[in-house]
Amino acid sequence: MVGTVLKHYRIETQLGKGGMGVVYRARDTRLDRPVALKMIPPGLIENPERRSRLLLEARSAAAVSHPAIAQVYDIDEADGNLFIAMEYVDGRTVTRLIADGELDLMGAIEIALQVAEGLAKAHDAGILHRDIKSDNIMVTRDGHAKLLDFGLAKLVEPEPDEPVSPAELSRTLTRGRVQTIPGAVMGTLSYMSPEQARGKELDRRSDIFSLGIVLYEMVTSELPFKGETPLDTMHAIAYEEARPLTLLRRNLTPEIHRIVFRCLRKNPEDRYPDAHALAADLRRLKHDLETGTAARLPVGDRLRVWAGRFKGSFPGGTRGMVILLAAIALGAVLVAVRFDWGGLIGPAFIALFVYRFVRNRKKRLIAAFTRKVSRFPEVRLVAARDDRVTVVMDKAPAKVYIRITALVDELNRSLFIGKDVRAEIRTDITEAEASSMLTRVGVLYAREEGGAGSGSKPAKGKTRGGPTSSAPPSAS
């Protein structure tokens, strides 16, 4: 539709596409200003009642005015196309900022605070968002957060008596984390609240849970709930606890942990009662960080953080802890029956050797992976942090990417215990960024000057630390 005119809107370029339709940047020729036009697919408004409800809710959303909410200007129809005209926000999404590594703790708190204040204004007007996610939060060039698509998830939600076929639900679930599920479970998979995942009725505390997920993601660069399949992710949201923030990023203030995990309580009654309370806590935390004051977690929360950290760092995780406790119990029994311990010296040495072999296997496998990858002349640098390996390379034929991916799969198949290694191939690194990466702990290989481009042989890199470095992972 680029180049066409709908009413007084001239469509200039396509901005994106999602479950609610296609979004274009257009020019309002009457007021001479840029707008975002969201085209509503005809299939979402075939039902007359749903269509009338869409008009009503769009008008309600347009009535909410707040600096942190992208304004809805108009809803209209032309040439059989129903569209919503909204404020055009020139900036980058939070997803993009996380991927670029441009969010520090203060930036994350400031964005969450602005969004919470916008949520409070909309909730007071009786409007829920239902699809808060990092892709729906834009940050303008001057640092102002804007929450997009406010109230639009409700626009296509069916009435309770509208059936949804199992085939449609299954088909939508398999699309992954970025899809909204119309007519069944509203929201985006990785950002749903437990009540959304179960298809229950929602209130303002559901939006608070989703904002807690975004804040967790901004602080750690990881999502708190994720599984191998969409259904696994929904199960994790509904029943599993997120990993403590301090396991993923050291030296965080305890107060940010308390705020995030209060947002992420499974029971809505245990969360913040409204966005006003959340914004108040974020405002206090921002003030404390700016003034240099510090707070301590309550004893119960500190114990939970300690237990999570111990569990995450123990070899084999929960299984390893069970084996250790079983060994301690067996030792107690042997002491009680006055067992002759001299006969255990030999098996103990063998057990120690096997333990050290298994414990260091991932490090050896990553080192072997690095040696194989470094043979490609396009590879500039290999770094490892925790379970993440980053391969920096020049542009290369597709077969090189396929070969590196195969080497990662081979590495993970060879692991006995522990989490799989996740690999990231980057070709967008500048010389300055590459030089900065060389100063960090975890570099396993670095090509000599003039490696791939000038045809010289790649040099053997030196290890700076190891794959078990405690440095925080970079955003991917």
Nearest-angstrom CA–CA distance, 322 and 164: 44
Q: Can you tell me the distance from the alpha carbon of 295 to that of 278, in angstroms, rounded to the nearest whole number?
A: 17
* Helices 299-313 and 254-263, axial angle in degrees (round to 10): 90
Residue 32 designated active-site: no
Quote the CA–CA distance of 426 and 347 in Å, as a whole number: 47
Side chain identity at 180, as an amino acid letter?
T
- Active-site residue among 131, 207, 274, 281? 131
Query: Which residue reads 């003034």 in tokens?
Result: 291
The pair of structure tokens assigned to 152 is 């639009």
Name residues whose C-beta falls within 8 Å of residue 377's C-beta, 6 or more positions apart in sequence.
451, 452, 455, 457, 458
CA dist., res. 383 & res. 392, Å (int): 8
d(CA 209, CA 157): 20
Return the active site residues: 131
